[in-house]
Amino acid sequence: MRVHLVDGTYELFRQHFGQVSRHANTHPSAAAAGVVASTLALVADGATHIGVASDHVIESFRNDLYDGYKDGEGMDEDILRQIPVMEEALASAGFTVWPMVTHEADDALGAAAAVADADERVEQVLIVTPDKDLGQCVRGDRVVQFDRRKREILDEEAVTEKFGIGPASIPDYLGLVGDSADGFPGLPGWGAKSASLVLARYGHIEDIPAAAGQWDVAGLRGAAKLSTTLQAQLDDAYLFRTIATIDIDLDVGAVDDWRWSGPTDDFEAMAESIGAPDLAAQARNLASAIT
């Protein structure tokens, strides 16, 4: 079996800024309906075990670690309003949903990927998001990322080619370069190229020699300045790495819990309420084809 783990928050953004934004007079819950439709499309394409994670609230434990971490300020109100609608609609459609409160959707996806990876019956785990944070969860060609928009699979080789480092170093990389989307800056002067070159050689922040004269990194410029910055702001680098590290110590159930077996009895009413009544018949037809 293959397991599909979907970033529901990303999918909601994708729907909102995709088809919904290009059409006037859409239903107020059109983006949520689009997420349900796209998740049913996974079933139509052969997916059997599906879990969807969402940021039920935007803030998480990471906001307690760093004041500047993303908090939802400035987010489109239409998206915020539709998060719980999407979660309810997906659950009504019969999908496993993880609405995250203290943690983030990324954490649930990482935790579920670890559970699925440990299940010998699972042939492949597809984390359905292009989010670079999830690159740290990729393992060989068994646990991969799937960018639906580009129809692109990122296995471990592809992650290494993209970032210049393996998945295990992704949190260190983000700790050094930062992540503007998540609201933490990284260290001054450390860019994508310098971080990838240094981490390709040393793997993790704590393994980088304290003195630039001890560095053995081909092609690196400005090693002395980078080293000085790193030593002066080492605590920040560790903090940002912690923030960027997926917490997989969450209860997301077992693989068998995620098998889709059809919509619930109330999905017809739910589909009507989100302005997509045709989804009810689509879900029933898909369910009848697998039973």
Q: Where are the domains of the chain?
A: 2-163+246-290, 167-244
Q: Please report the pLDDT score of residue 24 as a whole number.
A: 60
Q: Please report the pLDDT score of residue 157 as a whole number.
A: 98
Q: Please report the pLDDT score of residue 283 as a whole number.
A: 98
Q: Please report the pLDDT score of residue 23 as a whole number.
A: 62
Q: List pLDDT tens digits, range 33-42.
A: 999 999 999 9
Q: Please report the pLDDT score of residue 72 as a whole number.
A: 82
> Measured between alpha carbons, how far is 177 from 98 in angstroms, rounded to an integer?
30
Query: Is the confidence at residue 21, as pLDDT, over 80?
Result: no
Q: Please report the pLDDT score of residue 166 as a whole number.
A: 98
Q: Identical fold at 2-163+246-290 and 167-244?
A: no
> Measured between alpha carbons, how far is 24 from 5 in angstroms, rounded to an integer?
31
Both tokens of residue 290? 């697998």
Write down the CATH superfamily of domain 167-244: 5' to 3' exonuclease, C-terminal subdomain (1.10.150.20)
Burial of 259 (0-12, 13-18, 19+ CB in 10 A): middle
Considering only CA atoms, which of 45, 54, 58 is closest in space to residue 2? 45
Q: Please report the pLDDT score of residue 71 as a whole number.
A: 86
pTM tops 0.85, yes or no: yes
Query: Is the confidence at residue 76, as pLDDT, over 90?
Result: no
Residue type, 148: R
Percent of the chain at pLDDT > 70 equals 97
Pairing of strands 152-154, 143-147: antiparallel
Query: Is the confidence at residue 22, as pLDDT, over 80?
Result: no
Question: Would you call 168 helix, strand, or coil by DSSP?
Answer: helix
CATH 3.40.50.1010 matches 2-163+246-290:
yes
Query: Is the confidence at residue 73, as pLDDT, over 90?
Result: no
Both tokens of residue 98? 């993880």
Q: List pLDDT tens digits, range 233-243.
A: 999 999 999 99
Burial of 123 (0-12, 13-18, 19+ CB in 10 A): exposed
Both tokens of residue 158? 């592809």
Query: If you average pLDDT over residues 88-110, what whole number do you get?
Result: 98
Q: Please report the pLDDT score of residue 18 as a whole number.
A: 85
Mean pLDDT of the chain: 95
Task: Supply angle C-alpha 203, 205, 211, rounded to 5.
Answer: 105
pLDDT band at 14 (very low <50, low <70, confident <90, very high): very high
Query: If you average pLDDT over residues 76-81, what whole number do you get?
Result: 92
Q: List pLDDT tens digits, range 125-184.
A: 999 999 999 999 999 999 999 999 899 999 999 999 999 999 999 999 999 999 999 999
Q: Please report the pLDDT score of residue 291 as a whole number.
A: 63
pLDDT band at 290 (very low <50, low <70, confident <90, very high): confident
Strand order in the sheet with 152-154: 96-100, 49-55, 2-7, 124-128, 143-147, 152-154
Query: If you average pLDDT over residues 96-117, what whole number do you get?
Result: 98
